[in-house]
Amino acid sequence: MTTSRRRPRVREETLRRREEILKAAMATFGSKGYHNGPLAEIAEQVDMTHAGILHHFGSKDHLLLEVLRYRDESDVAGLDGQHIPGGIDMFRHLVRTAFLNAQRAGIVQTYAVLSAESVTDDHPARAFFEGRYRTLRSEAVEAFEALCAERGVAVPASVRHASASILAVMDGLQVQWLLDPTQVDLGEASEFAIEAIVSAVLDPRPSPLGAVPVPTTESGAADAVDVDLPVEAATA
């Protein structure tokens, strides 16, 4: 009987300590990066030993992945089923997330640093970010398809570009905001970009850029491409 009473309390303490470690690791990795963020510094922040950190997470690589999952869970904590919604609600969620991120610079910095680092050879978070972006792009495509069906418009061929662009704009604005928050309004700028991209999918129009020269080919000639012209305009 005594053991059964103590077990929940022990588990609560373990979960609390794990969360403390995750928050400390997020701060360290966000300020110094993964490779330059020592476990000893993380351990010191939570008054533990290096061995104590490894007891909870097994390895530094595993701790990194748990930090990233913890960060993602915080984005959907208040959503039904803790999952990003579909259709127009997905894009509304992305806008709300941008405004929320403006109040949590530490989390944003950790994500920006680790996602940039993950493109390097043999980085332990590369597979995580590849999968994350693949999933988000797919969910955005599905949201666009649902939205187009709801509005009774054809799904344009550019929908995959639109999905990748929304994610790229959000991440790029986060970097600009981290560098100079006095000059970049993260929430407003993200909302502007997301609205523009969604509008372009729902109501595609001839590009104001016209034909844009692309970098020269091996022959030295520059090709010109039409920028996302709708089918009607391209065949007119």
Same domain, 63 and 90: no
Distance from chain centroid for Cα 212: 30
Q: Which pTM value belongs to this model?
A: 0.78
116 and 195 housed in the same domain: yes
Residues 127 and 225 in one domain: no
Is there a single domain that holds both residue 101 and residue 172?
yes
CA distance 82 to 151: 27
Determine, yes or no, domain membership for 180.
yes
Tokens found for residue 98: 């941008």
pLDDT of 44-76, one tens digit each?
A: 999 999 999 999 999 999 999 999 888 888 776
**CATH classification of the domain holding 48:** 1.10.10.60
Burial grade of 4 (CB within 10 A; 0-12, 13-18, 19 or more) = exposed
Query: Both tokens of residue 22?
Result: 């995750």
Q: Is residue 2 part of a domain?
A: no
Q: Are residues 187 and 226 in the same domain?
A: no
Question: By residue range, what is the domain housing residue 224?
Answer: 211-236
Q: Same structural domain for residues 107 and 195?
A: yes
Helix (H/G/I), strand (E/B), else coil: 147: helix
Domain count, the chain: 3
Averaged in consecutive runs of 10 residues, what is the pLDDT profile of the chain (236 residues)?
A: 54 87 91 89 93 92 90 71 82 95 91 94 93 96 97 95 98 98 98 98 88 71 50 40
Residues 89, 192 within the same domain: yes
The reply to whether 142 and 183 lie within a common domain is: yes
Q: Which pLDDT score is estimated for 233? A: 39
Same domain for 165 and 89: yes
Q: Are 172 and 229 in the same domain? A: no
Q: Looking at residue 21, what is its pLDDT?
A: 94
